[in-house]
Amino acid sequence: MIKRTIAIENPARLSVKDDQLLIEQEGSLSGSIPIEDIGVLIIDNHGVVYTHACMTALLNNNTAVILSGNNHHPAGLLLPLDTNSVQSERFRYQIEASLPLKKQLWQQTVKSKIRNQAGLLKIIGEEHARLLAMIKEVKSDDTGNLEAQASRYYWCRLLGKEFRRDRFGEYPNNLLNYGYMVLRAAVARSLVSSGLLPTLGIHHRNRYNAYCLADDIMEPYRVFVDQIVYKLKKQYEGTISLTKELKKELLNILTGDVQFDDMKSPLIVGLHRTTASLYRCFSEEQKSIDYPSL
């Protein structure tokens, strides 16, 4: 079953009864959703209150809960602590993974990211041969920083020469940031369900970042957000604010199809295939991470 992404953007009271998430607004029930159906819950209004039982039921279901701040950017992410029966064993494999292995995994990740960026440029009719050539030059741990070089080439062809990717930048950065927020939460959720620690990255190592591994693994998946934003920018030309309509479109990213070598699946299902393969790399059962192509 494909998990749903739910955004609560108006004042409400959230509670749980009979394994249903109950949403009350202005004193009356406005909706109910089976807890087991929810993969990501976004709470984006300071007027939302919720019961303790509601939060624990969501976490027991392995739901990622995003809490937004005043600027509507994510202020926190709640994830379950115990979702895998052999978690301690998997933590040990992850912690003891050798540096050469991590460097090789990052090399694979960068190659997959650039390959998907080239794929999107090809779809929209932009020159992409240079990106394909870069893939062959990516070394262990990407010591030549081909990821950054590819991104500069990619962005100016995807969104125009004037565009500058910035986490706090102007439109259409706001669309990208919202999509990446949803994606990051889904990746962290999948890592936890695979018995891995989202904090310990293979490349990202910021001491203040609690989701370094999620930031690593989401890199090849970012292009699926980029593709939606490219279409929205054309469809809603002149719109610069993050409207409810645009948010709704971006929330659909998790149910969109991604292509692996042998199958097609919804992105949220594909994420679990990717994180499960990452564990097998840590345990030396597999040599490469399973990433989708665009």
Domains assigned to the chain: 4-78 (3.100.10.20), 87-282 (1.20.120.920)
pLDDT at position 209 is: 82
Confidence of residue 257 (pLDDT cuts 50, 70, 90): very high
Percent of the chain with pLDDT over 70: 98
pLDDT, mean of residues 239-261: 90
Residue 96 has pLDDT above 60, yes or no: yes
Sign of CA dihedral 64, 70, 73, 76: negative
Helices (H) and strands (E) in the chain, counts: 10, 10
Q: Are 235 and 241 in contact (CB under 8 A)?
A: no
CA-CA distance, 189 to 62, in Å (whole number)?
A: 7
The pLDDT score that the predictor gives to residue 238 is 78
Q: How far from 133 is each of 113, 145, 207, 232, 288, CA to CA, in Å? A: 13, 14, 34, 29, 21
Average pLDDT rounded to a whole number, residues 44-52: 93
Spatial contact of 16 and 53, defined as CB atoms under 8 Å apart: yes
Cβ–Cβ under 8 Å, residues 83 and 192: yes
Q: What pLDDT, on a 0 to 100 scale, did the predictor assign at position 184?
A: 94
pLDDT-derived band of residue 137, with 50, 70 and 90 as boundaries? very high
Q: Is the pLDDT of residue 69 over 60?
A: yes
Give the residue with greater pLDDT, 69 vs 218: 218
The answer on pLDDT for 206 being more than 90 is: no
Residues making up the chain, counted from first to last: 294
Mean pLDDT of 229-235: 93
- What is the structure's pLDDT at 277? 98
pLDDT number for residue 92: 92
Question: d(Cα 24, Cα 208) in Å, to the nearest integer?
Answer: 36
pLDDT band with cut points at 50, 70 and 90 for residue 254: very high
Q: How confident is the model at residue 83 (pLDDT cuts 50, 70, 90)?
A: low
Q: Where are the beta strands (DSSP E) in the chain?
A: 4-8, 12-17, 20-25, 28-34, 38-43, 48-50, 64-68, 74-78, 257-259, 264-266
